[in-house]
């Protein structure tokens, strides 16, 4: 079955860290770029970070640059998001999303999301 499965979301205090994982199955993982997209309660999606198919290119939204790091392990079909120095504004459901064909493309496959709550 073609799917993405996120994990790692939790309740964390401001200033804390979390590592999210996204496990892919059912397709050739290392052919595609991936993204993390978050959605705060009652808000629209917000793109967070992207990584190219080979992992050599990464990009970040201004709101997370310097605090978040995206990576991937093509041998394990998994994408990661290391989140440091978390603030309450980072509270959201975090989705992993696959680029449709090329690096700059629509997102054709999404995971079910993992919830991150930053609160004291």
Partner 1 sequence: EILLTQSPATLSASPGERATLSCRASQSPNVNLAWYQQKPGQAPRLLIYGISNRAAGVPARFSGSGSGTEFTLTISSLQSEDIAMYYCHEYHTWPPMYTFGQGTKLEIK
β 11-12/46-51 pair status: unpaired
Judged by CB under 8 A, which stretch of 15-23, 66-74, 76-84, 96-104 contacts partner 1? 96-104
Cβ neighbours, 10 Å, residue 33: 23
For residue 2, state whether it binds partner 1 (rule: CB under 8 A): no
For residue 24, state whether it binds partner 1 (rule: CB under 8 A): no
**Farthest CA pair distance, the chain:** 41
Residue 32 has, within 13 A of its CA and on its CB side, a CA count of 23
Within positions 65 to 94, which residues make up the interface with partner 1, using CB under 8 A? none
Interface with partner 1 (CB under 8 A): 35, 44-47, 50, 57, 59, 61, 95, 100, 103-108, 110-113
């Amino acid at each position: 079955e073609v799917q993405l499965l996120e994990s790692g979301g939790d309740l964390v205090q401001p200033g804390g860290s979390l590592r999210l994982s996204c496990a892919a199955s059912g397709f050739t993982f290392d052919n595609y770029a991936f993204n993390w997209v978050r959605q705060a309660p009652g808000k629209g999606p917000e793109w967070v970070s992207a990584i190219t198919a080979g992992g050599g290119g990464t990009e970040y939204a201004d709101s997370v640059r310097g605090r978040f790091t995206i990576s991937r392990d093509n041998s394990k079909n998994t994408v990661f998001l290391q989140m440091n120095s978390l603030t309450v504004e980072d509270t959201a459901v975090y989705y992993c999303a696959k680029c449709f064909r090329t690096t700059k493309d629509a997102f054709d496959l999404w995971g079910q999301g993992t919830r991150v709550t930053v609160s004291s």
